[in-house]
Structure 1
Amino acid sequence: MSTEWLAQVERRAALHGALADPGRLAVVDLLSRGDASPSELAAHLALPSNLLSHHVNVLVAHGLVERTRSEGDRRRTYLRLLPTELGPFTTALPRPRRVLFVCTANSARSHLAVALWRRASTVPAASAGTHPAGAVDPGAVAAARRHDLDLRDARPRQVDTVRLDGDLVITVCDRAHEEIGLTADAHWSVPDPVRVGDDAAFDHALDELDRRIRELAPRLVAA
């Protein structure tokens, strides 16, 4: 019997053990929708901070969750669900009328997310920014061209002029997520490729957006 196979079985058993607690499973279920700070999780779950911290520490120790630092206020910590041998966590979610991707400048990540979303789902999608730039960043246009995505009609727009009732709002930028008054249904903490400026940064952002979109799109089912 393969030693490697036995090690994989033991690893999967350990992951199942980590998820056996209802509190930890609830944390994972929420993080399967998007990243969240500990305070956001505590508000959703009505858990005392010490108990939530314990659950998060167990999930981190088992490689189910990782902590990242906000690019916005640079103090906040976000918790992100990691891929595992157990596969994606795919509880169904109500199908929205539209998905709205929001970042700060609406010049790169949110437009790329819309282009990727249109490949993966028939649910309509749009994008907007909390502080729109004057134009789509050239690096985003170049990245779209490399990946055969269409940004020809993309232009930055202010979120208040775009958002509609019934939108599923997903922030793809820490700074936008932390804007006072902007309430999002999910948050994806995707590093800003414009800040770095090279092809690798834009390709990394595209890969991360694509992974998350491919996990979310099949979960949106009609009520």
Structure 2
Amino acid sequence: MNTEWLALVERRAALHGALSDPGRLAVVDLLSRGDASPSELAAELSMPSNLLAHHVNVLVEHGLVERTRSEGDRRRTYLRLLPTELGPLTTSPLPRPARVLFVCTANSARSHLAAALWRRASQIPAASAGTHPAPVIHPGAIAAAARHDVDLRDGRPQTIDDVRREGDLVITVCDRAHEEVGLTADVHWSIPDPVPYGSDDAFDHAVTELSRRVAQLVPRLVMS
């Protein structure tokens, strides 16, 4: 018998076992939309924090979820759903918004790249904005867009108050923006900021991660 194949079967069986609990499956369903802190999940699920911690520990142990530290307050933890051998863990449809609005702090890199990637993948309009916009788009984002054949459309940083519309699906792609008082986002993607590093690899990683998130979300937005 092929031992490598058998090991994969056993791994898939273990993943199915980890997902067999309704509480853990509910956590996975919420994280399939975007990242969340344990307190956000507990509030959404009306679940005691100790029970949520147990479920999260099981999901982490099985490689289904990982913890990341906030780039914003440096104290908060975000939980992120990881790709697995099982493929997409949920394909449940979500309401189709009038537009998708990507938000980060400076609106100089991640949010512009996310909107451009979204326009390439979906007919739903997309825009971007910042809570504290920079003067210009970062040169590293422009260069990364060129490398990945992404059209930034001569965009410029804008404040969220000037861009946000009724009916927008707001996706924060920056921990600092997500944690801003008064900013309510529908979805959060905890994408590391490439600007402090400034390297091609850092910006390419942001493009790759944003592309993966866009590809997962686009097919789930259907007419309500």
| Alignment of 1:12 onto 2:9 | no
- Structure 1 gaps of 5+ residues are none
The size of the alignment, in residue pairs, is 223
Distance in 2, matches of 1:7 and 1:145, equals: 41
Partner of 1:56: 56
Partner of 1:160: 161
CA shift, 1:152, in A, is 3.8
Partner of 1:222: 223
- Structure 2 gaps of 5+ residues are none
Q: What are the Cα deviations for residues 133-191 of structure 1, in whole angstroms up to 9, with x where unaligned?
A: 00101111111111111224210000011111111000000000000000001100000
Distance in 1, matches of 2:116 and 2:39, equals: 32
Partner of 2:75: 75
Partner of 2:2: 2
Q: Percent identity at matched positions?
A: 80
Partner of 1:212: 213
Distance in 2, matches of 1:32 and 1:156, equals: 29
Write the mapping of 1:66-215 to structure 2, written as runs, cut at 5 A.
66-88=66-88, 89-215=90-216
Q: What are the Cα deviations for residues 110-145 of structure 1, in whole angstroms up to 9, with x where unaligned?
A: 000011111110000000000000010111111111
Partner of 2:32: 32
Distance in 1, matches of 2:194 and 2:4, equals: 38
Q: Match of 2:92, as an amino acid?
A: T
Q: What is the RMSD of the two structures over their aligned residues, measured on CA atoms?
A: 0.7
Distance in 2, matches of 1:133 and 1:181, equals: 20
Distance in 1, matches of 2:203 and 2:103, equals: 17
Distance in 1, matches of 2:209 and 2:33, equals: 14
Q: Return the TM-score normalized by structure 1.
A: 0.99
Distance in 1, matches of 2:158 and 2:218, equals: 24
SS of residue paired to 2:127: strand
Runs of 4+ in 1 over 2 A off after TM superposition: none
Q: What are the Cα deviations for residues 176-208 of structure 1, in whole angstroms up to 9, with x where unaligned?
A: 000000000110000001111011100000000
SS of residue paired to 1:79: strand
